[in-house]
Amino acid sequence: MTTVLLVGAIGQARYMTHIARAHMMPPWLAHVNAKTGTPINATVVMLAATALIAFFTKLEILADLLSVSTLFIFMFVAVALLVRRYYVTGETSSRDRNKFLMFLGLILASSIATAVYWAMERDGWIVYAVTVAVWFLSTVGMKFLVPQARAPKLWGVPLVPWLPSASIAVNIFLLGSIDEKSFVRFGIWTGVLLVYYFLFGLHATYDTAKATLKEKSTLKNAEEGSVAADKSGRAALDH
């Protein structure tokens, strides 16, 4: 837990720096120290927040909450990998997209059903046989019936869709072993962050992106004007 909290604080400080650069948080947190080359303000804030949470929270609660968030992230990464490999906007046909969504939905549904049945501590293997079969056949269907829309240029995850599909199943299964209160805490915290993002963060990132685009456009126009002036000057000298 000490290692996870320490690494999490250092890593999250870098995330906070980029978030602050998008003006979703005070820009003061995006300051990078000239001597150390590190986001010192964000690091201090994250270390203080992590220390306070660790000091006032029971170890069991903290461990379960970290497990929920970590497993959710791993599961969504696997889903994102499948989406990236099998779907490209404007290139993937509607038929292939619908087949991909159907198989992905079946993989998620069968994995959730397996985890829920395990958490219910019921005896019997019939349900497992059905859910595992659905997961397996869905993965087979995605493999052979849906063409990949994007291939990695240098290196990519091998055995797609088997590894991402297995990652989805394993992470959801492990989520089923965590107590209900941890999911409630995770849901409340996620809801608070989503409200903050939609009410403030979304507008802040849009305004920042718009300002950045305007700056790039101004710079491009200035460069084009400089080139045009240079060509005009050369033409005048030639005559």
User: Tell me: the pLDDT tens digits for 40-55?
Assistant: 999 999 889 888 888 8
Rama region for 159: left / alpha / beta (φ>0; ψ in -120 to 50; rest): left
Q: What is the pTM of this model?
A: 0.74
pLDDT at 6 over 80: no
**Residue 7 · residue 36 · CB < 8 Å:** no
Cα 157 versus chain centre, distance: 17
pLDDT in tens, 20-47: 888 888 889 999 998 888 899 999 998 8
Q: What is residue 29's DSSP assignment? A: G
pLDDT in tens, 162-189: 999 999 999 999 999 898 899 999 999 8
Cα 145 versus chain centre, distance: 27
The per-residue pLDDT for 18 is: 87
pLDDT at 232 over 90: no
The per-residue pLDDT for 151 is: 85
Of the candidates 142, 166, 180, which has an alpha carbon nearest to the alpha carbon of residue 78?
166
pLDDT in tens, 87-139: 999 899 999 999 999 999 999 999 999 999 998 888 888 999 999 999 999 99
